[in-house]
Amino acid sequence: MTVILSPLVGVVLPLADVPDQLFAQGAMGPGVAVEPPLEIVDVVSPVEGTLLQVFPHAFVVVTDEGVGVLVHLGLDTVQLQGEGFTPYAAKGDRVAAGTPVIAYDVPAIRAAGLASVVPVVVLERSADDVSLHAAEGAEITPGTPLLSV
């Protein structure tokens, strides 16, 4: 079993509440979302593994067991072309759970009129494979168990 930890501080939301159809309908995969506080937050790796992709607004980390986790910082944030994000790690880096990957400027994202919610999605798995650990509405910190596969 792989335990996926929260990559940031915030409040747990069901994926269905994310105002983006692909995430809300689970088209990207099963998971949960975290609404961050209105401050700059460090977003950390939710599992130990290798960074398969690192974009300014999102990253994918894959465990040695092949579990891929997508952490997407805000919605439609790709259009900001890196504004509001400071990467600490790069594609191909090996990371431990809790290793900072990106600094996320939540006030800048909200000032741009975009949603700051962070979907945390398990790739290439069905909802039956994933269990939720954190209760909806719970306040969490990095390292709090969110999901398991």
Residue 56 has what DSSP assignment?
A: T
Active site residue 57: no
Exposed/middle/buried for 129, CB within 10 Å: 0-12, 13-18, 19+?
Answer: middle
Residue that has been written with the tokens 């006030």 in this structure: 107
Selecting among 72, 74, 120, 144, the annotated active-site residue is 72
Give dist(CA 77, CA 60) in Å, integer. 16
Give dist(CA 24, CA 18) in Å, integer. 5
Asked if 119 and 129 count as a contact pair (C-beta separation under 8 A), the reply is no
Exposed/middle/buried for 62, CB within 10 Å: 0-12, 13-18, 19+?
Answer: middle
Give dist(CA 68, CA 120) in Å, integer. 11
Catalytic residues: 72
